[in-house]
Structure 1
Amino acid sequence: MIHRLILATAFAAFLHVQPAHAQKASSGAVPTADEAPIALLIDVTSGQVLFARNENRRFVPASITKTMTVFVAFERISNGTLDPASTIIVPEAVSTEWFGKGSSMLLPPQAEVRVSELLTGIATVSANDGSIVLASGLAGSVPAWLDEMNNAARRLGMVNSHFGTPNGWPDDGRTFTTANDLFLLAKAMIERHPKLYAEYIGQPSFAYNGITQVNRDPILGRIAGADGIKTGFTSEAGFGFLGSAKQNGQRLVMVLGGVDRNALRAKLAREFMRWGFEAFERKRLLQKSVIVGSARVQGGDARSVNLITDRQVYVNIPREAEDGVSYSVIYDGPLRAPINAGEPIGKLRISVPGMKPALVPLLAEQSVETAGFFRTIYNGVTGWFE
């Protein structure tokens, strides 16, 4: 059973706090509304969808695919199974096939290249050859690496994605994704691996073997706080972009897909990100670890558990919007003991007129152990009188 607790009255006072940072007046209509077939903009810090257009339509990601290749490597580094300082020998067959093919690090055959160099080359200059060398070198073969990519996608909940190549080279449609799925990937990369993200993503240029190439990210260096993530283009896919920027503690992630010109993609990416930061009034509703409600527990040494936030909770309100923000706690219950402190057990649903609801995780404030014999009898008896 889904339980809901409406909290609009309890949180009413928070509607009058000052914005977390001053912003310019809204620039008007969303700049991508008529020019990008696929567009998505989400505030990671609030969980709010600021704009969505065909966010669940499958499309070909082209080189945005490399984001998953980098993410899988980040996962290995974080769990201690990959050392960025380790080296891989470039197979002659890989160099022959991929040297200079599309975006490239120009890896010569039998070169000994560090994993850190491959990751930087993939993330910064979209190295097709680097992606294949990394995949085959770490997993033993490209198909084995693809298994890791697709397993990672499933774990992240990317239910409308499949990867048939580590670098996004055209593969007759076997590789596909959606804007929503790419957001899940970007969010996981940023939140799980912040140090690796800062080290490898958003570098302005990359030099290898005496050759320097620049990052073609359309918002890097042009939007304050922009730090990636990946462009993509093939004649089949058109021009796409997975991007992110952080300003004054607020991080936005955007996706564009199917844009028909490079210059238009750059224009839309910049306008879209600016709009996201400027068109809303951002307000802090709750501090981290605030109790927002409780959930019923069965079979425990306590009959309920407090629900707390795992972060400061913000909300973006369109500057033209009327009042009417509402809140509710949602959990699937009653819950059954045992429950560990810090365990995710519910969501805070934040509704703003004209926008999709945002869902913020809620955690158990305290542990609830399984009830002993006499506590079970007591709970059963007291339950008769509720």
Structure 2
Amino acid sequence: MIRVIAIFMAFVLGALPALAFDTVAKSAIVLDVGTGQTLMEKNADMALPPASMSKLMTLNMVFEALKDGRLSLDQELPVSANAVKYGGSTMFLTERDRVRVEDLIRGVVVLSGNDASAVLAEAISPDGTERGFAAMMTERAQQLGMTNSTFTNSNGWPEPGHRMSMRDLAILSKRLITDFPEYYGYFAETEYPFDNRAPDNRFNRNPLLKLNIGADGLKTGHTVEAGYGLVGSAVQGGRRIIFVISGINTERQRAEEAERIANWAFRQFVERKLTEEGVVITDADVWMGTANRVGLASPMDISVLVPALKKDEVKAKISYQGPLEAPIQAGGKVAELVVSIPGLEDAVYPLVATETVPTGGFMVRVRTSATVLLRELTGEAMNFF
């Protein structure tokens, strides 16, 4: 039987209703990294042309190769004819060049180099080709839970079938930030004058980096088909957000919309702690154990974001398949805490048993069997206490 225990956690935060955020982007998503909450989404699972924002997946593959030793930052890579053929944003590489991996990374991040992406791709590719690398990227994306991503090249050059969703880009961005902190600093660089080959092309296209709003990444993108897009991240007051937008009409509108989203995400929500690690929230019924009940607690501190102008209660309920059947191991997941916040998706957290409850002996089994028989004869609910 599914048992639900309702508990209420009320935070009086104001008297005015929070206004829903409406974006001009065709597709968008905003995540709070610390709590894992989705603050806003619009067509977030729609697979769209990602333009240069898909270079983030190429960088993920490069960072993985650096971590496991397949590449090193000082390693020099040759430049192929395939890499040189790309137009658009480039490092202006030639086939005579041999370029350090670190320079190529900065060329991808800061200069959005299509040629640099191809050079890195061919170095990692299982068959030495960019096409082989794209297939490897697609497979890796599926493994990372990016189910609406398929790649045909390394840099987002317009091709049929090269697609990503905004949710997938948010998943990828969180991974780059949390799993590769040693390389994430590249995304905050505002300029990179590689070999002084193109002084006018040395600046990072991310408009948020110069606005003093805590932005430190990640990537812009633009094609005629995709419109203007941006994957951004910023930190204020210890809170980090990630936001992804696509399908904006102009470069200026992209900058204005990105700043507007960042300001909204930081100003319209406040963080509240619900419970601390190991603190018993409630007890659950136990079947056939040496104890009739066991405590339920969170294995971690739980905090949530609440709309700053909402007066409504934050409601939480505990759900478990009960009664819990012994044996029960301390620390094992046995229930879930479901937190409902007006205007946001429900947040679900695991709850664990606070102590071990072994299976009961002969007398426990006899007593339980008698209780079951009595219930069947009388139609009354069981009582284990």
Partner of 1:216: 205
Amino acid at match of 1:48: Q
Distance 1:96 1:103 in 2: 11
Contact 2:73 2:101 in 1 (8 A): yes
Q: Deviations over 1:9-46 (max 9, x none)?
A: xx45xx36xx9xxxxx999663xx25222222221222
Of 314, 321, 329 in structure 1, the residue corresponding to residue 304 of structure 2 is: 314
Shift of 1:68: 0.9
Please give the secondary structure, in 2, of the residue aligned with 1:243.
strand
Distance 1:149 1:340 in 2: 40
- Segments of 5+ residues of structure 1 without an aligned counterpart are 20-24
Partner of 1:181: 168
Of 343, 349, 372 in structure 2, the residue corresponding to residue 354 of structure 1 is: 343
Distance 2:29 2:146 in 1: 15
Amino acid at match of 1:87: Q
Distance 2:304 2:106 in 1: 33
Contact 1:203 1:215 in 2 (8 A): yes
Partner of 2:82: 94
Contact 1:88 1:134 in 2 (8 A): no
Contact 1:286 1:314 in 2 (8 A): no
Amino acid at match of 2:139: N
Contact 2:218 2:232 in 1 (8 A): yes
Distance 1:298 1:192 in 2: 42
Distance 2:60 2:2 in 1: 34
Amino acid at match of 1:209: D
Partner of 2:179: 192
Shift of 1:111: 2.2
Q: Percent identity?
A: 29
Moved more, 188-197 or 225-234: 188-197
Partner of 1:269: 258
Contact 2:17 2:311 in 1 (8 A): no
- Segments of 5+ residues of structure 2 without an aligned counterpart are 372-383
Partner of 2:65: 76
Contact 2:337 2:351 in 1 (8 A): no
Shift of 1:376: 8.5
TM-score of the aligned structures, taking structure 1 as reference length: 0.80
Contact 2:288 2:365 in 1 (8 A): no
Partner of 1:22: none
Distance 1:156 1:294 in 2: 36
Shift of 1:284: 3.1
Structure of greater Rg = 2
Partner of 1:129: 115
Distance 2:41 2:355 in 1: 38
Partner of 2:6: 6
Q: Deviations over 1:188-225 (max 9, x none)?
A: 2222223322x222211123223451111021121421
Distance 2:180 2:288 in 1: 37
Distance 2:290 2:89 in 1: 60
Partner of 1:284: 273
The alignment's C-alpha RMSD in Å is 3.5
TM-score of the aligned structures, taking structure 2 as reference length: 0.80
Distance 1:219 1:60 in 2: 22
Contact 1:27 1:275 in 2 (8 A): no
